[in-house]
């Protein structure tokens, strides 16, 4: 494995995870007022035991701490029974079969993007491929016409940006952007209600459980969730997979010769550099994790990217093994909240990798320049990824 010095900043969290797994696997952080959980068995339990570990932020957080985005009122932040009802509803529209029908189109979009760069022998893999691919796919799934794609990208950025350094003025500008997005989606809902099409919005309008449809707010929330949940995560999985391949010479050649190995390589990238670092849960009753006592109402932070490097679950966990078997990583979560978009994300990334293997010949090399980590508590990835091929 080759790790270039310019990536030290990007990879720094992994040293912290290892240290915490060994020394303080369940750690109460006074600054955050939360419990951090680092080992695989504990993280898997926190993610999947939904009765003890609630996802419903609104029950445990004061209003001013709640995230003000479509995510906060979405299935991601609900507990049963409402979670089950709504998830069943949206699953009717967002089926693996519908996703499979997208395969040809995903391949066309990917090849269109690679057409722009293939002859140059270089690209920024984030800017030129990993970023535009998922946003275009979701826009098409939702039936958003081409002329709105640029707006759509700006809205999606507005939804995921913002951290502790964002100024009040910037926050107001973001809210305006997000308001614009909901205004636009409301119009789309009206149109599709009057004239249903063969798209996800029309399918969501038609879906019902026990004679109940989604209301307008839930529909808007779900469209917003798809934008947020499906974009940056998939972008980072493509980027992180390219990093894994760059650090492990010879794997690209093996994949090129045997495409049956491609899905396994995608799964291993999900484990090795998980695009989602962590989720949040709230203890609904007093419980214990490891030898620590957790009080009802306390916040729990299960670190997926630490769990996925736990030697107790993955032999030789710090080695990227594209043929690892079994590979029960937690990259898409576990249990009732398991990622609804997993079939779509897997298809997009598999298609992107296959097209790259077809079209970008020779050795791939990520330039030895500083890679700028995305400043986020939740997502792991790099903002830039200069890649060359053909040598």
Report the interface residues with ligand HEM, using CB under 6 A: 47, 55, 75-76, 87, 138, 225-226, 229-230, 233-234, 237, 275-276, 279, 331-333, 337, 339-341, 344-345
Residue 121, SS3 per DSSP:
coil
Q: What whole-number distance in Å separates Cα of residue 18 and Cα of residue 124?
A: 31
Residues present in the chain in total: 391
Q: How far is the CB of 119 from ligand HEM (least distance, A)?
A: 29
Nearer to ligand HEM, 200 or 387 (CB): 200
Element (H, E) at 193: helix 168-194
Nearer to ligand HEM, 75 or 93 (CB): 75
What is the torsional sign of CA 131, 134, 135, 136? positive
Nearer to ligand HEM, 352 or 366 (CB): 352
Q: How far is the CB of 30 from ligand HEM (least distance, A)?
A: 25
Nearer to ligand HEM, 118 or 266 (CB): 266
Q: How far is the CB of 194 from ligand HEM (least distance, A)?
A: 25
Q: How far is the CB of 367 from ligand HEM (least distance, A)?
A: 24
Q: What angle do CA 324, 325, 328 make, to 5 degrees?
A: 95
Residues 213 and 56 sit within 8 Å (Cβ to Cβ): no
Nearer to ligand HEM, 276 or 294 (CB): 276
Q: What string of DSSP letters covers 36-82?
A: EE-SHHHHHHHHH-TTTEE--HHHHS-GGGS--SGGGGSGGG--TTH
Nearer to ligand HEM, 123 or 135 (CB): 135
What are the φ and ψ backbone dihedral angles of 36, each rounded to 5 degrees? -95, 135
Q: How far is the CB of 264 from ligand HEM (least distance, A)?
A: 15
Tell me the residue number closest to ligand HEM, measured at CB: 341
How many CB atoms sit inside 10 A of residue 193's CB? 14
Q: How far is the CB of 99 from ligand HEM (least distance, A)?
A: 9
């Amino acid at each position: 494995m080759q790790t270039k010095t310019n990536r030290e900043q990007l990879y720094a969290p992994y040293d912290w995870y290892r240290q915490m797994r060994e020394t303080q696997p369940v750690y109460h952080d006074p600054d955050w007022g939360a419990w951090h959980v680092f080992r695989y068995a504990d993280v898997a339990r926190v993610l999947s035991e939904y009765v003890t570990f609630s996802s419903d932020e609104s029950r445990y957080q004061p209003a001013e701490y709640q995230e003000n985005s479509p995510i906060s009122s979405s299935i991601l932040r609900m507990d049963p029974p409402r979670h089950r009802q709504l998830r069943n509803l949206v699953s009717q529209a967002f089926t693996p079969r519908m996703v499979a029908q997208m395969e040809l189109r995903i391949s066309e979009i990917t090849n269109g993007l690679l057409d722009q760069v293939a002859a140059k022998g270089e690209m920024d893999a984030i800017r030129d491929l990993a970023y535009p691919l998922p946003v275009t796919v979701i826009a098409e799934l939702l039936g958003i016409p081409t002329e709105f794609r640029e707006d759509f990208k700006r809205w999606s950025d507005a939804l995921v940006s913002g951290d502790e350094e964002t100024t009040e003025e910037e926050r107001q500008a973001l809210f305006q952007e997000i308001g614009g997005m909901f205004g636009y989606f409301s119009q789309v809902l009206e149109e599709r209600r009057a004239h249903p099409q063969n798209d996800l919005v029309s399918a969501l309008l038609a879906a019902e459980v026990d004679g109940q449809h989604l209301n307008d707010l839930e529909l808007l929330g779900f469209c917003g969730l798809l934008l947020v949940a499906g974009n940056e995560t998939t972008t980072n999985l493509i980027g992180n997979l390219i990093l894994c391949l760059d650090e492990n010479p010879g794997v690209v050649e093996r994949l090129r010769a045997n495409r049956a190995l491609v899905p396994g390589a995608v799964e291993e990238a999900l484990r090795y550099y998980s695009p989602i670092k962590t989720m949040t849960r709230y203890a609904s009753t007093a419980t214990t994790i490891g030898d620590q006592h957790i009080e009802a109402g306390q916040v729990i932070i299960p670190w997926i990217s630490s769990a996925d490097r736990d030697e107790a679950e993955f032999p030789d966990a710090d080695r990227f093994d594209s043929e690892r078997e079994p590979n029960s990583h937690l990259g898409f979560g576990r249990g009732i909240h398991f990622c609804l978009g997993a079939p779509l994300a897997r298809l997009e990334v598999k298609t992107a990798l296959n097209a790259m293997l077809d079209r970008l010949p020779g050795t791939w090399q990520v330039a030895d320049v500083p890679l700028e980590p995305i400043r986020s508590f939740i997502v792991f990835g790099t903002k830039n990824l200069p890649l060359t091929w053909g040598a």
